[in-house]
C-alpha cells in the first residue's frame, strides 16, 4: 500500500513530468513489488489530509510493542496535483497498491517541457517518542534534472544526509548520489535502446522497450565497493496484449546473477519469478510471487467517466495519420510523398498489416483500459522463496472508506536467532510460523 505521502510525491513527479520508471533504482520495480512487498508490522493507522492547497499532512499511529507515531507534512509549490490525488474513498485500488509497473517506452512518454516551472517539494516527518526527524527536499531544477536531498536526524543514529542529483534525458538517466552514511558515493545510469520504433521489428506497432543500466558504489569510510548492471526488456504479448517484463542483472564483483520474469497474465493476476545464481559460490535461489485481484460490482458511473476521458480511441481515424499518431506510423510516413494516390496504393498494399497493427494496438489498449477501469476491491499477494523458506501473504483492499492492508510472513527459520548460531540448521522442522504480522489502516480525505 502506497502511503499518502508517497502518493503526493509521485503525483508531484507526474505533474512535473518526471518519469519514475526511467531510473536505474526502479529497474526491477515490478519484481520487487511482487516478490519483496512490504508487510506492515503491528497495527498502524494513518490519517491523511490535504490541509491547504499546498500542504498535505499525515498523522500516523502504530502499535508495535510500544505505541509510537509520526507526523508528516508536505509543502509543495506545484499546482494541480488534485487530479492525481484522490481520497481513500474514491481512489482505485490499483492506484493505491504497488503491483506490476507498466513501463511506457520513452518515445511514447512525453512531458511538456514548455510550461516547465522550477517547483519543489518539502517533506518533513517527525517520529515520536524517538524524536527522529526525516526531511526531504525535491527540487526540479530544469526539465531534465531533479535534486533530491534526504536527511535524517535522530538520537540513535548520527545524522545522515543523502543527496541525489538526477538527470533524465529520456534516453539516458544518470544519477549521482552522495551519502554521509559510510561516505557512500554512487553513480547510476540507465540507457534506453529503443528511443524510437525499431525498424527491425516485424511488428509495426512497437510498445516494447529495452533498457540497460549500471550502478557503481563506493563506501569511502569502509572501502567497500559495489556494482551491478541490469538489462530490462518490457513488451506486450502480441496476441493478448498482456505486458511482460524480463530483467537480467549481474553483479560482477560478487558474481551474482539474477533474472526475473514477470507477466500480467490477465487483468486480475500477475506472476513473477526470480532466479538467483551466484557464479562463485554456486548458491541459487528461486522465488515466486503472484497477486490476484478481485473486482467487485462495477461502478458504472465511474467507468463511464473514465472511459470518456482518456484512451479507447477510435482507431480508424488515427490510422489515417493524425498528428499525434505520427510516431506510430513514422516509418510509413517518412518516405512518402503527399500524393493521395501513393497513399492509397500503400493503403491497399499494407492493408493487412495495418489491420494487424490496429488489432495489436487495440488489443493492448483495450487491455490497458480495461485494467484502468476495473473496479478492484481487494488483492491477494503471495510470495515465497526457496532458500529463505518463507511465505509472505498480503491482503490489500478497500473497506468502506479505508484502505486496509494486512499481511504476514511465515517462516520456518527460528525467530530472533542471531545469525551466528550453530543450531540454525537443526531447528528447521518444516513448520511455518509467523515471523511478522501487521495491519495497516489508511484513511485520507
Partner 1 sequence: MSFRFNKATFEDNSFNEQIREKLTHALNADSGSGSQSKSANASNSAVTDEVKQETKGPKKLDILKSGITVSKVNFPSIPQLEILDLDLSAQSKSLLKGICKISCKDAMLEINTEIEANLLLLYTNNGPAFTTPRLISNDSFTVPITMTFDQIELEAITNIFVKNTSVGISFNDVNLDFNFDCSIKLLQSSIEKRLKGSMETVFKDVLPSVIFSMSQRWFTHGETTGGYPEEKLQQHVESQSHLPRVILEDSDLEDLSPATMLRLSTLVSSRQSLSLNPTAMNTLSAIPGCLERQNLHRFNSRVPALSNFYPDFHAAEAPDLKLLGRSVSSNTIVGGGYNQQLNTLPQRVLDERSYNLNTIASVQSRIYERSNGDNTNLRRRKIKMGGRNKSKIQVSKKLERKASVPDVEGIAEAGPPTSLSNNAERSEANVRNTPDFVHSPRPVSVAQSPELLGENSAFFNIPHLQLSAKAGANQTYPVVSPPTPKLNLLEEAQSLNRRRDLQKLRSSLYSPMRNSKFYVTREMERPILEHKGLSFVGLAQGLKWGSEDLPPPYGC
What long-range pairs does 411-420 form, CB within 8 A, spacing at least 24? Answer: 411/435, 413/388, 413/389
**Pick from 162, 266, 295, 377: which binds partner 1 (CB under 8 A)?**
162
CB of 154 to partner 1, least distance (A): 8
Asked if 17 interacts with partner 1 (CB under 8 A), we say no
Asked if 415 interacts with partner 1 (CB under 8 A), we say no
Q: How many DSSP H helices and E strands does the chain contain?
A: 7, 19
Could you tell me which stretch among 86-94, 174-182, 201-209, 317-325 binds partner 1 (CB under 8 A)?
A: 174-182
**Pick from 67, 71, 141, 221: which binds partner 1 (CB under 8 A)?**
221
Asked if 339 interacts with partner 1 (CB under 8 A), we say no
Instruction: State how far the Cα of 140 lies from the Cα of 115, in Å rounded to an integer.
Output: 13
Q: Name, in order, each residue with C-beta under 8 angstroms of 365's C-beta and a sequence gap of 6 or more.
A: 241, 311, 312, 313
Helix (H) or strand (E) holding 196: none
Asked if 168 interacts with partner 1 (CB under 8 A), we say no
Asked if 68 interacts with partner 1 (CB under 8 A), we say no
Asked if 85 interacts with partner 1 (CB under 8 A), we say no
CB of 362 to partner 1, least distance (A): 35
Please answer whether residues 117 and 400 qualify as being in contact, where contact means their C-beta atoms are separated by less than 8 angstroms.
Answer: no
Please answer whether residues 383 and 409 qualify as being in contact, where contact means their C-beta atoms are separated by less than 8 angstroms.
Answer: no
Give me the helix-helix angle, 340-373 and 300-308, nearest 10°.
150
Instruction: Indicate the burial class of 237 (C-beta count within 10 angstroms; 0-12, 13-18, 19 or more).
Output: middle
Please answer whether residues 162 and 189 qualify as being in contact, where contact means their C-beta atoms are separated by less than 8 angstroms.
Answer: no
Could you tell me which stretch among 55-63, 83-91, 105-113, 218-226 binds partner 1 (CB under 8 A)?
A: 218-226
Could you tell me which stretch among 112-120, 158-166, 200-208, 315-323 binds partner 1 (CB under 8 A)?
A: 158-166
Asked if 151 interacts with partner 1 (CB under 8 A), we say yes
Asked if 129 interacts with partner 1 (CB under 8 A), we say no
CB of 17 to partner 1, least distance (A): 23
Compute the CA torsion angle 24, 28, 29, 31 (nearest 10 deg): 180
CB of 249 to partner 1, least distance (A): 4
**Pick from 217, 329, 367, 376: which binds partner 1 (CB under 8 A)?**
217
Asked if 157 interacts with partner 1 (CB under 8 A), we say yes
**Pick from 156, 282, 297, 308: which binds partner 1 (CB under 8 A)?**
156
Instruction: State how far the Cα of 210 lies from the Cα of 196, in Å rounded to an integer.
Output: 11
Of 25 and 98, CB closest to partner 1: 25
Asked if 134 interacts with partner 1 (CB under 8 A), we say yes
Could you tell me which stretch among 103-111, 225-233, 352-360, 400-408 binds partner 1 (CB under 8 A)?
A: 225-233
Please answer whether residues 9 and 29 qualify as being in contact, where contact means their C-beta atoms are separated by less than 8 angstroms.
Answer: no
Of 123 and 372, CB closest to partner 1: 123
**Pick from 366, 424, 433, 445: which binds partner 1 (CB under 8 A)?**
424
3-state class (DSSP) for residue 366: helix
Cell numbers that stand for 271 in this block? 506472476
Could you tell me which stretch among 48-56, 63-71, 224-232, 304-312 binds partner 1 (CB under 8 A)?
A: 224-232
Instruction: State how far the Cα of 146 lies from the Cα of 75, in Å rounded to an integer.
Output: 17
Which DSSP letter does residue 412 get? S
Asked if 100 interacts with partner 1 (CB under 8 A), we say no
Of 57 and 251, CB closest to partner 1: 251
Asked if 181 interacts with partner 1 (CB under 8 A), we say yes
Q: Name, in order, each residue with C-beta under 8 angstroms of 272's C-beta and a sequence gap of 6 or more.
A: 30, 31, 34, 35, 260, 261, 262, 263, 288, 289, 290
**Pick from 11, 16, 94, 228: which binds partner 1 (CB under 8 A)?**
228
Q: Give the CB-side neighbour count of residue 68, counting CA atoms within 13 A.
A: 13
* Phi-psi label, residue 316: left if phi above 0, alpha if psi -120 to 50, beta otherwise: alpha
Of 161 and 327, CB closest to partner 1: 161
Instruction: Indicate the burial class of 198 (C-beta count within 10 angstroms; 0-12, 13-18, 19 or more).
Output: middle
**Pick from 21, 60, 215, 306: which binds partner 1 (CB under 8 A)?**
215
Binding string, residues 246-265; x marks residues near partner 1 by CB under 8 A:
---xxx--xxx-x-------
The label of the residue with cell 524517538 reads: 130
Query: Interior CA angle at 142 toward 138 and 123, to 5°?
Result: 10
Could you tell me which stretch among 54-62, 69-77, 300-308, 413-421 binds partner 1 (CB under 8 A)?
A: 413-421
Residues that bind partner 1 (CB under 8 A): 24-25, 27-28, 134, 136, 150-152, 154, 156-158, 160-162, 164, 177, 179, 181-182, 184, 186, 213, 215, 217, 219, 221-226, 228, 230, 249-251, 254-256, 258, 276, 278, 280-281, 283, 417-424
Amino acid at each position: 500500500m502506497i502511503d499518502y505521502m508517497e502518493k503526493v510525491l509521485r503525483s508531484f513527479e507526474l505533474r512535473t513530468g518526471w518519469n519514475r520508471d526511467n531510473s536505474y533504482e526502479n529497474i526491477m520495480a515490478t519484481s520487487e513489488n511482487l516478490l519483496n512487498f512490504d508487510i506492515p508490522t503491528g497495527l498502524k493507522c494513518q490519517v491523511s489530509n490535504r490541509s491547504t492547497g499546498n500542504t498535505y499532512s499525515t498523522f500516523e499511529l502504530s502499535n508495535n510493542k510500544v505505541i509510537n507515531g509520526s507526523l508528516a507534512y508536505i509543502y509543495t509549490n506545484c499546482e494541480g496535483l488534485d487530479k492525481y490525488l484522490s481520497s481513500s474513498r474514491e481512489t482505485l485500488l490499483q492506484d493505491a497498491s504497488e503491483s506490476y509497473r507498466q513501463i511506457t517506452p520513452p518515445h511514447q512518454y512525453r512531458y511538456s517541457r514548455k510550461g516547465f516551472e522550477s517547483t519543489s517539494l518539502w517533506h518533513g516527518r517527525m517520529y515520536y517518542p524517538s524524536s527522529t526527524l526525516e526531511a526531504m527536499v525535491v527540487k526540479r531544477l530544469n526539465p531534465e534534472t531533479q535534486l533530491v536531498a534526504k536527511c535524517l536526524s535522530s538520537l540513535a543514529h548520527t545524522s545522515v544526509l543523502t543527496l541525489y542529483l538526477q538527470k533524465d534525458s529520456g534516453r539516458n538517466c544518470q544519477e549521482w548520489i552522495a551519502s554521509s552514511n559510510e561516505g557512500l558515493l554512487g553513480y547510476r545510469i540507465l540507457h534506453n535502446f529503443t528511443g524510437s520504433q525499431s525498424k527491425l521489428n516485424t511488428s509495426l506497432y512497437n510498445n516494447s522497450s529495452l533498457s540497460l543500466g549500471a550502478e557503481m558504489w563506493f563506501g569511502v569510510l569502509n572501502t567497500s565497493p559495489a556494482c551491478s548492471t541490469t538489462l530490462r526488456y518490457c513488451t506486450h504479448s502480441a496476441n493478448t496484449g498482456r505486458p511482460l517484463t524480463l530483467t537480467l542483472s549481474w553483479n560482477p564483483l560478487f558474481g551474482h546473477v539474477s533474472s526475473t520474469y514477470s507477466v500480467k497474465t490477465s487483468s486480475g493476476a500477475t506472476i513473477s519469478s526470480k532466479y538467483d545464481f551466484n557464479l562463485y559460490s554456486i548458491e541459487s535461489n528461486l522465488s515466486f510471487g503472484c497477486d490476484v485481484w478481485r473486482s467487485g460490482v462495477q461502478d458504472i458511473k465511474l467507468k463511464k467517466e473514465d472511459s470518456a476521458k482518456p484512451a479507447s480511441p477510435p482507431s480508424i481515424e488515427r490510422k489515417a495519420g493524425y498528428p499525434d499518431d505520427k510516431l506510430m506510423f513514422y516509418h510509413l510516413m517518412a518516405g512518402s510523398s503527399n500524393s493521395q494516390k501513393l497513399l492509397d496504393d500503400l493503403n491497399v498494399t499494407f492493408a493487412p498489416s495495418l489491420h494487424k497493427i490496429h488489432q495489436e494496438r487495440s488489443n493492448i489498449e483495450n487491455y490497458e483500459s480495461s485494467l484502468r477501469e476495473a473496479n478492484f476491491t481487494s488483492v491477494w499477494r503471495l510470495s515465497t522463496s526457496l532458500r529463505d523458506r518463507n511465505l509472505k501473504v498480503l491482503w490489500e483492499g478497500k473497506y468502506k472508506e479505508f484502505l486496509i492492508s494486512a499481511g504476514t510472513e511465515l517462516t520456518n527459520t527460528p525467530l530472533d536467532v542471531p545469525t551466528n548460531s550453530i543450531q540454525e540448521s537443526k531447528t528447521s522442522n518444516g513448520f511455518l510460523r509467523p515471523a511478522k504480522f501487521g495491519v495497516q489502516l489508511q484513511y485520507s480525505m
